[in-house]
Structure 1
Amino acid sequence: MTTYGVLGVGSIAAAIVTGLCEGVGDPPDVVLSPRNAERSAGLAARFPSVRVADDNQAVVDAADVVVVCLLPTDAADVLAGLTFRADHAVLSAVAELHLAGLAAVVAPATDVALVTPLPAVATRSGATPVHPGTPAATGLFDRLGGSLVLDSELAYESIGAASATVAAYFRYLGTIAGWLEDRGIPGDEARRYVADTFAALAGELSTPHADFDALAAAHATPGGLNEQLARDLTEAGAYDAVRAGLDRVLARIAPN
């Protein structure tokens, strides 16, 4: 069975480990770096197949597949200080570390891929973008909810740019709640109402081929209030601003 080594144990790494081990009859061996000692120790205490290595090199030495979850500011230097084997597979979840750069710092390993796991991997739900679709990448994420294989680095980086919309989404909800609060509704009740409203819509997104235009039309009764606000936002350029913002994020993260 494949042994996974995880470099950097932040929230995404913890989600990967949880998805691999929680409620699984025969979980794989997982070796964690000692970075974020409290979280690493907690995962090792929860799952018998997980252990914490003495240092990053010990993680690499013990692993068949190395999953890199380091901070972007640290990743290149940390990886450059490690010795990889030619038979290693290396998966990087590090933003702004491109495929060529990854391959250069983990040589002589050549089996490399970029991955963008989200917290949903902890419950083995939701597909993870991978590029390219190597056996190591799909082998890991198919067991964590599925793999979204992308054939070009531009397509992969575009998915990464799209993931930058989450904070803006919550700001949108917060703006609605704040507007309600300004009109006399207690803040906690306003936030609960907005959260419940949008949470109730989540089921409409669970179909395999969600059609956003069709969903928008279904909620925009001609002459109704939803139609009015959607039209106002369109005329104000709100949706054009989203596209322009995504273009700027992509320009930041895409290879030169």
Structure 2
Amino acid sequence: MRRSTTRCGCSRISDMRIGVIGTGTIASAVVEGIAGDGHDIAVSRRSAVQSARLAQMFDNVTVHDNQAVLDRSDVIFLGLMANAAAEILAPLTFRADQRVISLMADCPLERVAQMALPAQAAAVMIPFPGIAQGGSPALGYGDTDLLQELFGARNTIFALSSEAELAAYNCAQAVLSPAVRLVADAADWLGTRVEDRAQGEAFLRALVGSSLMGSDCATLLAALNTPGGYNQRLREHMTDSGMGGALTEGLDNLERGA
């Protein structure tokens, strides 16, 4: 079944002509997150399976070669690997009236501007898979008003002041995977002791997610610091085992590119 190109109950922004070069996992999630707003979206064939899937899902998503994507679009997302972008974009012709949003976290906006001349390199954006459904954070540097117009109705755009900030946030967001690993390991432990393993994992995901969304970390840690309580005892065990130091070392390594 093809999905409707409108979402009931959501305010509709002005339709845009949007192009997407590169349709990997994140770029595809971006398309899914905005296709319901009625934009005319052209996606490239670089990932044939993903682009075909998107065109099947949405009436307003069509598949073209890279130059045709640019010719049909006013706002362009670049969902490429940074080390391959120059070679892919070199044969293409951009227009001066186009705005480019890069999804390449490790490619400076100035470099994007050089590759997309004479178009305007508007912003760098780091979205996450949840942007497909909404309710997700996204990092942005540059023209964050444009990002807000496109995604802000259903997502939270964190506007950053410099590319140095963007790089630091990009390192820190990697805490998500080890945090999920901790919850998954706790769920595995719980699953060997309860009848319904799936319910146990669902409980832990709901517990951690709702707790973090409902409070800042300092307040939540204080509330979980009952002397001799289970939370305090496990946290102190993990801290004494080197958890904090390992995290800081890992983040420093990411920052250095190690």
User: Per-residue displacement from partner, 1:109-154 (whole Å, max 9, x unpaired)?
Assistant: 2333110111221122123211013443332222441321111111
Amino acid at match of 2:257: R
- Give the whole-Å Cα distance in 1 for the aligned partners of 2:97 and 2:224: 53
SS of alignment partner, residue 6 of structure 1? strand
Q: Does the CA contact (< 8 Å) of 2:35 and 2:41 recur in 1?
A: no
Q: Does the CA contact (< 8 Å) of 1:20 and 1:143 recur in 2?
A: no
Deviation, 1:192, is 4.9
- Give the whole-Å Cα distance in 2 for the aligned partners of 1:41 and 1:15: 14
Normalised to the residue count of structure 1, the TM-score between the two structures is 0.84
Q: Does the CA contact (< 8 Å) of 2:183 and 2:204 recur in 1?
A: no
- Give the whole-Å Cα distance in 1 for the aligned partners of 2:137 and 2:185: 30
Deviates more, 1:168-177 or 1:103-112: 168-177
Deviation, 1:73, is 4.0
- Listed as ranges, the matches of 1:7-156 within 5 Å are 7-22=21-36, 24=37, 27-53=38-64, 55-156=65-166
Q: Does the CA contact (< 8 Å) of 1:115 and 1:131 recur in 2?
A: yes
Deviation, 1:189, is 5.1
Amino acid at match of 1:159: Y
Deviates more, 1:127-136 or 1:147-156: 127-136
- 1:5 correspondence with 2:19: yes
Partner of 1:217: 222
Distance 1:71 1:111, change over 3 A: closer
Partner of 1:196: 203
Deviation, 1:32, is 0.4
Give the alignment's Cα RMSD to 1 decimal: 2.4
SS of alignment partner, residue 166 of structure 1? helix
Q: Which 5+ residue runs of structure 1 have no aligned equivalent?
A: none
Percent identical pairs in the alignment equals: 33
User: Per-residue displacement from partner, 1:212-248 (whole Å, max 9, x unpaired)?
Assistant: 1211222232111211121122223311221221122
Deviates more, 1:37-46 or 1:189-198: 189-198
Partner of 1:173: 183
Q: Does the CA contact (< 8 Å) of 2:17 and 2:39 recur in 1?
A: yes
SS of alignment partner, residue 193 of structure 1? helix
SS of alignment partner, residue 107 of structure 2? coil
- Aligned length, in residue pairs: 244
Q: Does the CA contact (< 8 Å) of 1:102 and 1:112 recur in 2?
A: no
Partner of 2:12: none
Amino acid at match of 1:13: A
Normalised to the residue count of structure 2, the TM-score between the two structures is 0.84
- Give the whole-Å Cα distance in 2 for the aligned partners of 1:137 and 1:39: 23
- Give the whole-Å Cα distance in 2 for the aligned partners of 1:173 and 1:204: 13
SS of alignment partner, residue 94 of structure 1? coil
- Give the whole-Å Cα distance in 2 for the aligned partners of 1:91 and 1:130: 10
SS of alignment partner, residue 223 of structure 1? coil
